[in-house]
Amino acid sequence: MQEQREATGAELVIVDGSPEQDAVHGALADDATVVREPGGDVFRLRELGARAATGRVIAFTEDHCVPADGWCAAILAAHAAHPHTAAVAGATRNGSQDALVDRANFLVTFAPVLPPLSSAPGRRVPPPNNVSIKAESLAPYELIPGLLELEIVPHLARVGHLVLDDRIVVSHAQSHGRLGSVRVHFHNGRSSAGLPRRQVPARERVRRIVDSVLLVPRHLAETWSEVWRRPGERRRALPAMPWVMVLLCAHAVGQIAGLLTGPGTSPMALE
């Protein structure tokens, strides 16, 4: 990454929510902007990162993602090629293939952004682990936790101001085990339904609860559809599909809990 940053003039902003004794320090942080908020959840940390960044393009990734060579240059090239588009999302490869539940954990979230990508997103919004947004497009918003991931990026995708570019690649390496994966997807569902913290009219809440119930068969079909159009992924994905269904059920239950009770402490359970 250091060579990439030097070649492109990229600014590195590290947003650290770990306890003080585990805080980022040393050579990694010597030439970076470091923002610390011990105990901050992932939604709060992304908000802080967006606020601290000073570049004309703000790119987001996560500590369990490894950017490919040329990641920074590919982001800048994509935005230069789409000067009137607000955001670009890249591709994500699975860096945790050994256990079936790890494959399922990946597919539930990242199947739509497996390479190769089409030029525009489908029904599923690209996750925030490999998204970049022009700073001018974020400027009008008063950022609060969850707004970026759950409202701004989905809105940009719906109105055609987010494009996909599979030159921009990260590898996602994360393993929670069986119970941990079920727990994480419950907390992810609860967070996604409960944030940003706003009052939802009763009729809208009922509609979203119904959508949460329908999420399992719909997303199961969509996930397999994404795998099917990538023949190289089928053999690895097929044995993991029962776990995909289990994790989608956990996510759906979490969404219903979030709609009824709010996010609670679920954002703190996500990495």
Task: Indicate if 257 and 146 belong to the same structural domain.
Answer: no
pLDDT bracket for residue 58 (50, 70, 90): very high
pTM for this structure?
0.92
- Domain with 241 in it: 177-269
Q: Which of 17-21, 90-94, 153-157, 261-265 has the lowest mean pLDDT?
A: 17-21
Task: Indicate if 75 and 142 belong to the same structural domain.
Answer: yes
Task: Indicate if 82 and 212 belong to the same structural domain.
Answer: no
The C-alpha atoms of residue 100 and residue 106 are separated, in whole angstroms, by 10
Task: Indicate if 79 and 148 belong to the same structural domain.
Answer: yes
pLDDT of residue 201: 83
pLDDT of residue 210: 93
Task: Indicate if 150 and 242 belong to the same structural domain.
Answer: no
Task: Indicate if 139 and 222 belong to the same structural domain.
Answer: no
Task: Indicate if 88 and 211 belong to the same structural domain.
Answer: no
At 44-57, the pLDDT tens digits run 999 999 999 999 99
| Mean pLDDT within 20-31 | 60
Bond from prior residue into 116 cis (ω within 30 degrees of 0): yes
pLDDT of residue 19: 82
Q: What is the count of structural domains for the chain?
A: 2
Is the predicted pLDDT of residue 28 greater than 90, yes or no?
no
Task: Indicate if 89 and 137 belong to the same structural domain.
Answer: yes
- Token pair, residue 234, equals 């089928």
User: Can you give the CATH number for the domain in which 30 is found?
Assistant: 3.90.550.10
The C-alpha atoms of residue 126 and residue 112 are separated, in whole angstroms, by 7
Task: Indicate if 25 and 129 belong to the same structural domain.
Answer: yes
Task: Indicate if 167 and 181 belong to the same structural domain.
Answer: no
pLDDT of residue 27: 46
The 3-state secondary structure of the chain, one letter per residue: CHHHHHHHCCCCEEEECCCHHHCCCHHHHCCCEEEECCCCCHHHHHHHHHHHCCCCEEEECCCCEEECCCHHHHHHHHHHHCCCCCEEEEEEEECCCCCHHHHHHHHHHHHHHCCCCCCCCCCCCCCHHHEEEEHHHHCCCCCCCCHHHHHHHHHHHHCCCEEEEEEEEEEECCCCHHHHHHHHHHHHHHHHHHCCCCCCCHHHHHHHHHHHHHHHHHHHHHHHHHHHCCHHHHHHHHHHHHHHHHHHHHHHHHHHHHHHHCCCCHHHHCC
Task: Indicate if 163 and 232 belong to the same structural domain.
Answer: no
Q: Which of 7-11, 30-34, 124-128, 139-143 has the lowest mean pLDDT?
A: 30-34
